[in-house]
Amino acid sequence: MSDDHHEEDRPEFDPQNVDLPAKEPPLRSTAPQSDFTMSQVSTGAVVALVGLALTFGIAFALV
C-alpha cells in the first residue's frame, strides 16, 4: 500500500521550536459566507422539495 503523505518532505517536529510559518495561509470562501443569487436559491428550494416529495411520497405509498 502506498502512503501519499510525503513524509520525507516534512521537517522533524521540534516542540522547542514554535516559530510560526513565514506567510499566512490563503484566504478561502465558504458557502455560508458567499452571496447567492435568487436563481440559485430557487434551484435549491426546488431540489429540496423534490427530494422531500420523493422521500415521503414513496414512504406513504408503501404504507
**Helix, strand, coil percent content, the chain, rounded in steps of 5:** 50, 0, 50
The DSSP symbol for 22 reads S
Cα atoms in the Cβ-side hemisphere of radius 13 Å centred on 59: 6
Q: Return the amino acid letter for 4.
A: D
pTM above 0.85, yes or no: no
Domain ranges of the chain: 37-63
Hey, what amino acid is at 42?
S
Summarize pLDDT for 36-58 with one digit per residue, the tens: 899 999 999 999 999 999 999 99
Could you read off the pLDDT of 1-45 as tens digits, one per residue? Answer: 555 666 566 667 777 877 766 676 666 666 666 778 999 999 999
